[in-house]
Amino acid sequence: MKNKVVSKEEWIAERKKLLVQEKEMTKLKDQLTKQRQELPWVKIDKEYVFQGTKAKETLSDLFEGKSQLIVYHFMFQPDWTEGCKSCSLIADHYEPSLVHLKQRDVNMVTISRAPIDRLEAFRKRMGWSFKWVSSNDSDFNIDFNVSFPGDLKEQKEVYYNYGMIPAFPSTEGPGMSVFYKDEDGTIFHTYSCFARGLEKYLTVYDLLDVVPKGRDEDGLVYGMEWVRHHDKYGDESFKDIYVELLAGRKSD
């Protein structure tokens, strides 16, 4: 690939045109942020209990003294031996932010359905320090629309990202949910996002978006096919289960 080659003066003129649009996008992002923060809340009436490394913990416990809680819904089925590679990419990004979030009255935890021993083994393998708890004995994942009950092979559609979509090649979907806790202990659900709504937490995509080739994902079976766990780049033995599952569905 090669774009048109121009003089420096012509390049600056074109760059300024693009800058106008970039500034408009920044202002729009500020407007969306304000609207997001003004969304109505939903009171949490159900008692959710999770398995931690040492004991069971409630949703309230996960705030750890803060009034705001971010939950990353990490795809990790109970029968998997390692977590989703795309969720791992997101975790690589939010891990360094946790110490800074705590300074702004925010705690963040990761929640998956896999047993706690598998979560801990994978967390240590990846070198992460964030808190990770198992929701395998609760309705949490189902209630927040990131797990899809039923036989995977028989599913044609699932409810995800606020609508019915073709079924996932797994029983899990990625997502992020936000909660607020009043001084009296009442908890509210304030926000959730899914699918490409999670891209805003991926700095690697922001960086790829400024280079000439961009994300360079055309021709892949699915967008994030190129992603690996950060300890598996260069591992030729790696097999992408999603590629196999998607290929199987196309042949049905």
Same domain assignment for residues 209 and 184: no
Give the domain-ending residue among 162, 177, 202: 202
Host domain of residue 119: 42-202
Same domain assignment for residues 98 and 172: yes
**Assigned domain for 34 exists:** no
**Assigned domain for 226 exists:** yes
Q: What is the pLDDT along the chain (252 residues), one digit of tens a residue?
A: 789 999 999 999 999 999 999 999 999 999 999 999 999 999 999 999 999 999 999 999 999 999 999 999 999 999 999 999 999 999 999 999 999 999 999 999 999 999 999 999 999 999 999 999 999 999 999 999 999 987 777 888 999 999 999 887 789 999 999 999 999 999 999 999 999 999 999 999 999 999 999 999 999 988 999 999 999 999 988 888 777 666 655 444
Nearest partner of 88 among 204, 220, 237, 206, judged by Cα: 204
**Assigned domain for 6 exists:** no
**Assigned domain for 17 exists:** no
Contact 187/42 with Cβ under 8 angstroms? no
| Cα distances (Å, whole numbers) of residue 165 to 80, 179, 195 | 24, 26, 11
pLDDT of residue 252: 45
Same domain assignment for residues 137 and 164: yes
Q: What is the DSSP string of 70-97?
A: EEEE----TT-SS--HHHHHHHHHHGGG
Cα separation, 147 vs 168, in Å, equals: 10
Same domain assignment for residues 94 and 212: no
Quote the tokens at residue 166: 């073709």
**Assigned domain for 195 exists:** yes
**Assigned domain for 28 exists:** no
pLDDT of residue 150: 79
Same domain assignment for residues 221 and 179: no
Same domain assignment for residues 116 and 233: no
218 Cβ contact partners less than 8 Å away, ≥ 6 residues apart: none
pLDDT of residue 153: 75
Same domain assignment for residues 112 and 46: yes
Same domain assignment for residues 121 and 232: no
pLDDT of residue 248: 56
**Assigned domain for 51 exists:** yes
Same domain assignment for residues 69 and 136: yes
CATH number of the domain enclosing 101: 3.40.30.10
Cα separation, 133 vs 51, in Å, equals: 6
Same domain assignment for residues 163 and 92: yes
Same domain assignment for residues 246 and 187: no
Same domain assignment for residues 224 and 119: no
**Assigned domain for 161 exists:** yes
The tally of domains found in the chain comes to: 2
